[in-house]
Structure 1
């Protein structure tokens, strides 16, 4: 049975024919992800059953334009669904979120290019390596000659298409362009063996010189600024408005699960044990709850608020601070757990490792986010 048939079978068994993300579908995908979480961490890749569950839940089609059968959904829905899956496995949530986000990227392709991706189904998993742009693109008749090596293509092993960004060698400013290629066009280098998010398979990819037709390319700047004329809000907003909060979503789910796992472990001695443990539970729990509120407010701004530099700066600030708070909350829990938690692999240790790797992502660095926020306030003064 082919991948598409399996996905439809899963949906049919769940009593639904569409692919819209929701609480029930995310919970189902999260349960599948949790079942394979230890193996994903050990084997450094997601299990096929997890990939099928994430696809059936509606992640890849979430931002696909409606004309191709996609959901062209909202950022708040994706935030919540990603965090739910991350309670089962942060690696699965990371890939699911990016398959959704990369569908939003691909919506900037010309119509013929979109048709190549989604003409048969909106449930196409798209990997990407767009930051920083790498390789080289040279104009060639009505297309491009593209080649190079790109790092950190999360979820690429299970993708069907890949987006690659490269500078235009013929442009005076060498402005970058994004190119869509079938995933089989690239060679995957097994380079991802990280401390956390081990199951994301965020390997490097290599592309020999390949001709890419013009309808499978668009200017990277179009993605960054969004298309204000787009019929769907998700395609109209600039990339940095929702970008950081979506990267923060897997950390929120992992921290929530870490808190639950720690509480289950500590519960027998909480009342008669140390005050430090009770304080850690109270403070870390409150911080994780506060981050959930912070990120949901940011997602609502991305979905419905004004689109201006101040909103972008505020969302970047809130995403960076949110992950910093989550990292501190889980650190506090582990410091009160004793060495046994870190002595052998386990769920709490995995959450801790995953959150640290998420916090290292460039989109969540506090320094540039803080500078951007300060500039936005200075311009309003």
Structure 2
């Protein structure tokens, strides 16, 4: 089925390109574009077979997201972020799995995981309030994962902090319609979410720390390799794959644009050794980024298949590699764009949109390099990073 999903996305390519301007204007994916992606099967790739999912190898998921991003960046971004949520849902309470996917295996789930709210414990669950930014694809989602901190009776986060991942139906939160006006990834509709004193039953709440360190999946008793994969490999995978796919879009659009172009000096680009060198080097860097992300996934998968327990050092190494791959790809995209002349800036040139989207993708928190680099280096020296050095690892 994974190859069929990829074929479905490729078959949609012309329509995705043709509708990109409409999505940019709307500030979200058009309804029929989202419907096409839904029918392609991307969002079911990581879902349980029990609920119509494919339980695909995450490498296959990453390649579908990359291809989608290389065609239209915002479509790839939404596919990568929304598409990874069924993976986490697979080791949530069975009752909430049934609520979300029991009647419709194509039900989309949004996020974000940033701790934008405070959950106050009450009998049978929590009362949640807060505001969250960057809920990509949220207009097309009927459920959401939201990050929150446990609070005291006054709504003040307790110390030391305790993070939660809360799962909520669309009726229990509000989307702020005018909250997504940005320079890149305009079509993702990554709007703000507001929750006001909403009761959340216990079975719809996951311990955030246990999700990230793998304890949640272990306690759920999963046996499939897919659901034993680290959160710090899987959640960033959709985001980084989309960003690399967008960089591949920069490359493809740049090559197409340069094919018949004559530079400012009157020299055809085909005869300009400096530009050709830059294009060749950038293409190699983008491909290296792609291969590093895919190899990263394969390495984790193979360790789990072999019965190994993934260590914090290995998780930090994976995040280091994933983050570096994104930065390498976008920096290579800059080399392409910077040598494309003034007409690359025109809004009717798709090259500028890919370039804007690539940089927007690099601004996601998962691509901040400081903690993964620091933690990976420290771990390699035999230390055990603590506190903030374990965030999202």
Pair in the same fold by TM > 0.5: yes
- Structure 1 contact 261–348 (Cα < 8 Å) conserved: yes
Which of residues 172, 175, 178 is equivalent to 2:165?
A: 178
- Structure 2 contact 2–60 (Cα < 8 Å) conserved: no
Aligned partners of 2:311, 2:14: CA distance in 1, in Å?
38
Which of residues 314, 339, 356 is equivalent to 2:359?
A: 356
Q: C-alpha displacement at 1:46, in angstroms?
A: 0.3
Aligned partners of 2:7, 2:106: CA distance in 1, in Å?
19
Q: C-alpha displacement at 1:92, in angstroms?
A: 0.8
Aligned partners of 1:210, 1:350: CA distance in 2, in Å?
39
Residue-by-residue CA offset, 1:26-57 (whole Å, 9 max, x unaligned): 32344443232222123211011211121112
Who is 1:95 aligned against? 78
Residue-by-residue CA offset, 1:217-240 (whole Å, 9 max, x unaligned): 121122112224412222212211
Give the number of aligned pairs: 363
Task: State the SS of the aligned residue for 2:71.
Answer: coil
Who is 1:10 aligned against? none
Q: Give the TM-score normalised by structure 1.
A: 0.89
Who is 2:299 aligned against? 301
In the alignment, structure 1 residue 203 sits paired with structure 2 residue 206: no
Who is 2:37 aligned against? 54
Aligned partners of 1:128, 1:265: CA distance in 2, in Å?
37
In the alignment, structure 1 residue 252 sits paired with structure 2 residue 244: yes
Who is 1:15 aligned against? none
Aligned partners of 1:272, 1:357: CA distance in 2, in Å?
31
Which of residues 66, 69, 73 is equivalent to 2:56?
A: 73
Which residues of structure 2 form unaligned runs of 5+? 153-157, 263-267, 385-393
Q: Give the TM-score normalised by structure 2.
A: 0.86
- Structure 2 contact 84–234 (Cα < 8 Å) conserved: no
Aligned partners of 1:28, 1:176: CA distance in 2, in Å?
41
- Structure 2 contact 108–141 (Cα < 8 Å) conserved: yes
Listed as ranges, the matches of 1:115-194 within 5 Å are 115-131=98-114, 133-170=115-152, 173-189=160-176, 190-194=178-182
Aligned partners of 2:242, 2:233: CA distance in 1, in Å?
17
Listed as ranges, the matches of 1:317-328 within 5 Å are 317-328=320-331
Listed as ranges, the matches of 1:278-297 within 5 Å are 278-297=276-295
Aligned partners of 1:302, 1:121: CA distance in 2, in Å?
31
Residues 216 and 22 of structure 1, relative CA distance in 2, 3 Å threshold:
same
Residue-by-residue CA offset, 1:293-314 (whole Å, 9 max, x unaligned): 1111012123323522232122
Q: C-alpha displacement at 1:86, in angstroms?
A: 0.7
Residues 310 and 30 of structure 1, relative CA distance in 2, 3 Å threshold:
farther
Q: C-alpha displacement at 1:172, in angstroms?
A: 5.7
- Structure 1 contact 63–100 (Cα < 8 Å) conserved: yes
- Structure 2 contact 117–130 (Cα < 8 Å) conserved: yes
Listed as ranges, the matches of 1:360-375 within 5 Å are 360-375=363-378
